[in-house]
Structures are given as structure tokens and as C-alpha cells.
Amino acid sequence: MRKLTLLFSSLFVLFVALQSCNQPAAEQQSWEAEWLGQTQQEIIDNTEEQFQGFSRTMTENSYRYQELYWAGQDQNWEYAEYQREHIVEALEQGFVRRPEHEASAQQFMDVALPEIEEVIKSADQEQFFESFEKLTNTCNTCHQMEDVAFITVVLPKVRHNVVYY
């Protein structure tokens, strides 16, 4: 259902952008987002460039992966669940743009993330770290399947952010 909602939301944004191309010249002059372009194809190309491929998804997930780890360290289970939810959301959005990556992430999406969700609900720190290690291994398996095994995910060693709660 989330994928369908995300797809329709993306299509709606694209539709609104494309509709601006069909407005009378007087209305187009008031358009301030010049970076989008003038023609329908320029708008599509520039929008796709801003969303990028899967690298932006992975950059966000790298941050959220580390925050998830530290949330477990702090036993801040609400923050852990928040990060887990946003990892799922970022990946689903990435799959809309690059569906060819979804098959490699199947184990991560269908097994590792639901398992860590259950552990977060149980608030069991020992289980969390066992599950988190499996999550990390699943990340690396996905990277191998995508021919980017040189991108190795490891447990965070340095905390970059401080969460106040």
C-alpha cells in the first residue's frame, strides 16, 4: 500500500509540474522555480536529476542506520522505531525511481527490518544488537548482489549526533 501511495504521490507532483507547461504565457512568467526548465522534457530531466538514482537513498539510509544503532545503545526505542520506519520509507521511494534494486533488497525488507521491528517493540537491548548484526550482514549481502561489494557496512564506532530526549 505504501508503494502505491508513494507512486501516486510522485505521479501527482509530476502532473502538477507538467500542467504548469500548459498554462498561458502570463502565468508562466510568474513561475519562480526557473531551475525546473521551460519545456516538459526539461522539467522531467531536471526533476529526475534532483531525485538522482539510488545513491541519495543510500546516503539517507547510512545516516539512519547509524542513528538506529545509537538509539539501541541508548535504549531509546521510540527513536529506534522512528529510524527503522524512515529506512523503509527511503528504500521504498528509492525503489520507485530504481525498481531494479528491489530484488536485491528483498531479504533486507522482508526479513531483517521486520525482525528488528519486533526486537524494538520488545525493548530487549541484547536481542537488538543480535538483530542489528543480522541487519548489517543483510546490507552487505545486498551490496554484493548489486556488484558494489566494495561498499562494506560496519557497526558504527563514532557517534556524530547527540539526541536529546
DSSP-derived letter for residue 52 is -
CA–CA separation, 13 and 19 (whole Å): 10
Please enumerate in sequence order all residues whose Cβ is within 8 A of that of 65, keeping only pairs 6 or more positions apart, or say none.
83, 87, 135, 139, 153, 156
CA–CA separation, 117 and 110 (whole Å): 11
Q: For residue 16, name the pLDDT band (cuts at 50, 70, 90).
A: low
| pTM of the predicted structure, to 2 decimals | 0.74
Contact between 58 and 87 under an 8 Å Cβ cutoff? The reply is no
Nearest CA among 101, 99, 72 for reference residue 84: 72
95-149, pLDDT tens digit by residue? Answer: 998 999 999 999 999 999 999 999 999 999 999 999 999 999 999 999 999 999 9
